[in-house]
Structure 1
Amino acid sequence: MKLLYSDMLPLKVKAGQEKFINAFHTGMAVADRVEIATGYVSKASLEELDLLAENLKVKTIVLTIGMYCIEGIPEGTYHTAMNINEKWQTACRGEIRMVRPFKYHGKLYAFYKGNKPFKAFVGSHNLGAIKLEASNIRQYEISAMTEVSEETQAIADFIRDLQQPKCSSNIADIKDMKLIREKNASLDGVQEVSQLPPTSVELFKRHIKGLSFELPIKVPAFFNRHIDDNKHFTKSNINVCYAAPRNARKSRDWYETQMTVGVNIRRMPGYPEKNHPFFIVTDDGYWFKAHTTSDNNKQLSAVGNELLLGRWLKGRLVAAGLVNPVNDTQKDTDRLGMITKEMLKAYGCDRLVLSKTDQKAIDEDNIELDVWVLAFESNEDKSE
Structure 2
Amino acid sequence: MNLLYSNILPLGTKEGQETVSNQISEEISNSDAIEIAVGYVSKASLEELDRIVTEHQIRHVILTIGMYFVEGMPEAMYHTAVAINQKWVAAGIGEIRMVRAFKYHGKLYAFYKDQQVKSAIIGSANLGVIKQEAANRRQYEVSAITVEQSECDEIATLIRKLASPACSARIDEITGMTLIREVNVSLTGVDTVDQLPQTQVELFEKHKTDISFILPIKVPAYAERHMDDGKHYTKSNLNVSYAAPRSARKSRDWYETQFTVSKKITLLPGYPEKNIAFYVITDDGYTFKAHTTSDGNKQFSAVGDELILGRWIKGRLAAAGLVTPVNDTQLDVDRTGMITKEMLAAYGCNTLVLTKTNQKMEDEEGNMLDVWILSFEAASQDEGDEA
What's the TM-score bracket when you normalise by the shorter of the two chains? over 0.9
Q: Which moved more, 1:181-190 or 1:239-248?
A: 181-190
Q: Which residue of 1 aligns with 2:53?
A: 53
Q: Which residue of 1 aligns with 2:369?
A: 369
Kindly indicate whether the alpha-carbon contact (under 8 Å) linking 1:235 and 1:241 is maintained by their aligned counterparts in 2. Answer: no
Kindly indicate whether the alpha-carbon contact (under 8 Å) linking 2:220 and 2:236 is maintained by their aligned counterparts in 1. Answer: no
- Distance (Å, rounded) in 1 between the aligned partners of 2:40 and 2:66: 7
- Distance (Å, rounded) in 1 between the aligned partners of 2:277 and 2:206: 22
- AA aligned to 1:93 is I
Q: Which residue of 2 aligns with 1:228?
A: 228
Residues 297-335 of structure 1: per-residue CA shift (max 9 Å, x gap)? 321111222111101100111111111111110011111
Kindly indicate whether the alpha-carbon contact (under 8 Å) linking 2:108 and 2:155 is maintained by their aligned counterparts in 1. Answer: yes
Q: Secondary structure at the match of 1:24?
A: helix
Q: Which residue of 1 aligns with 2:254?
A: 254
Q: Which residue of 2 aligns with 1:145?
A: 145
In structure 2, relative to structure 1, the CA distance for the partners of 1:378 and 1:174 (3 Å cut) is same
Kindly indicate whether the alpha-carbon contact (under 8 Å) linking 1:66 and 1:99 is maintained by their aligned counterparts in 2. Answer: yes
Kindly indicate whether the alpha-carbon contact (under 8 Å) linking 2:224 and 2:232 is maintained by their aligned counterparts in 1. Answer: no
Deviation at 1:382, TM superposition (A): 8.6
- Distance (Å, rounded) in 2 between the aligned partners of 1:39 and 1:161: 15
Kindly indicate whether the alpha-carbon contact (under 8 Å) linking 1:28 and 1:34 is maintained by their aligned counterparts in 2. Answer: yes
Q: Secondary structure at the match of 1:244?
A: coil
- Distance (Å, rounded) in 1 between the aligned partners of 2:103 and 2:40: 11
In structure 2, relative to structure 1, the CA distance for the partners of 1:271 and 1:63 (3 Å cut) is same
Kindly indicate whether the alpha-carbon contact (under 8 Å) linking 1:280 and 1:374 is maintained by their aligned counterparts in 2. Answer: yes
- Distance (Å, rounded) in 2 between the aligned partners of 1:15 and 1:83: 40
Deviation at 1:15, TM superposition (A): 2.3
- AA aligned to 2:74 is P
Alignment pair present for 1:82 and 2:88: no
Kindly indicate whether the alpha-carbon contact (under 8 Å) linking 2:186 and 2:311 is maintained by their aligned counterparts in 1. Answer: yes
- AA aligned to 2:148 is V
Kindly indicate whether the alpha-carbon contact (under 8 Å) linking 2:233 and 2:243 is maintained by their aligned counterparts in 1. Answer: no
- AA aligned to 1:302 is A
Q: Secondary structure at the match of 1:186?
A: coil
- TM-score when normalising by structure 2: 0.96
Residues 93-132 of structure 1: per-residue CA shift (max 9 Å, x gap)? 0011111010000000111111111111111111111112
Q: Which residue of 2 aligns with 1:101?
A: 101
Q: Secondary structure at the match of 1:61?
A: strand
Q: Secondary structure at the match of 2:360?
A: strand
- AA aligned to 2:255 is Y
Cα RMSD (Å) of the superposition? 1.4
Alignment pair present for 1:136 and 2:136: yes
Alignment pair present for 1:122 and 2:122: yes
Gaps of 5+ in 1: none
- Distance (Å, rounded) in 2 between the aligned partners of 1:324 and 1:298: 29
Q: Secondary structure at the match of 1:187?
A: coil
Deviation at 1:236, TM superposition (A): 3.5
Alignment pair present for 1:5 and 2:31: no
- TM-score when normalising by structure 1: 0.97
1:101-250 matches, within 5 Å, as: 101-250=101-250
- Distance (Å, rounded) in 2 between the aligned partners of 1:354 and 1:262: 14
- Distance (Å, rounded) in 2 between the aligned partners of 1:305 and 1:15: 59
- Distance (Å, rounded) in 2 between the aligned partners of 1:258 and 1:8: 50
Q: Which residue of 1 aligns with 2:328?
A: 328
Kindly indicate whether the alpha-carbon contact (under 8 Å) linking 1:279 and 1:288 is maintained by their aligned counterparts in 2. Answer: yes
- AA aligned to 2:144 is A
Q: Secondary structure at the match of 2:380?
A: helix
Kindly indicate whether the alpha-carbon contact (under 8 Å) linking 2:76 and 2:321 is maintained by their aligned counterparts in 1. Answer: yes
- Distance (Å, rounded) in 2 between the aligned partners of 1:261 and 1:82: 33
Q: Which moved more, 1:264-273 or 1:67-76?
A: 264-273
Q: Which residue of 2 aligns with 1:285?
A: 285
Deviation at 1:381, TM superposition (A): 8.7
Q: Secondary structure at the match of 2:128?
A: helix
- Distance (Å, rounded) in 2 between the aligned partners of 1:283 and 1:322: 20
Deviation at 1:215, TM superposition (A): 0.6
In structure 2, relative to structure 1, the CA distance for the partners of 1:356 and 1:382 (3 Å cut) is farther
Residues 210-267 of structure 1: per-residue CA shift (max 9 Å, x gap)? 1011111000110121001122233331100000010111111111111111122111
Q: Which residue of 2 aligns with 1:319?
A: 319
- AA aligned to 2:157 is D
Kindly indicate whether the alpha-carbon contact (under 8 Å) linking 2:208 and 2:356 is maintained by their aligned counterparts in 1. Answer: yes
Q: Which residue of 2 aligns with 1:307?
A: 307
Q: Which residue of 2 aligns with 1:340?
A: 340
- Distance (Å, rounded) in 2 between the aligned partners of 1:381 and 1:352: 15
- AA aligned to 2:179 is L
Kindly indicate whether the alpha-carbon contact (under 8 Å) linking 2:233 and 2:242 is maintained by their aligned counterparts in 1. Answer: no
- Distance (Å, rounded) in 1 between the aligned partners of 2:200 and 2:140: 38
Deviation at 1:14, TM superposition (A): 2.3
- Distance (Å, rounded) in 1 between the aligned partners of 2:256 and 2:102: 44
Q: Secondary structure at the match of 1:379?
A: coil
Q: Secondary structure at the match of 1:380?
A: coil
Q: Which residue of 2 aligns with 1:275?
A: 275
